[in-house]
Amino acid sequence: MPHRITIMLDDDVVKKLRAIQAKQIKESSEAVSFSKVINDHIAKSLK
């Protein structure tokens, strides 16, 4: 079950994540949430 947390991100990190989100939205016909982008990248970095 997902946990709701609050985090503080630097502006440059947010811009990079939003760019990744925009790219994923363009490549897909489905919505891509900002939370999903963050979760995917955290999970990827922990492997």
Whole-angstrom distance, CA of residue 24 vs CA of residue 16:
12
- Per-residue pLDDT band for 40 (boundaries 50, 70, 90) equals very high
The model's confidence at residue 39, banded by pLDDT at 50, 70 and 90, is very high
> Given pLDDT bands bounded at 50, 70 and 90, which one contains residue 31?
very high
| Rg (the chain; Cα; Å) | 11
- Contact between residue 4 and residue 28 where contact means Cβ atoms under 8 Å apart: no
* DSSP H helices in the chain: 11-27, 34-46
Domain boundaries, the chain: 11-46
Could you give the CA distance from residue 22 to residue 20 in angstroms, rounded to a whole number?
Answer: 5
Residue 1: the pLDDT is 83
**Residue 2: which pLDDT band, with cuts at 50, 70 and 90?**
confident
Name the residue type at position 18: R
pLDDT above 90 for 29 = no
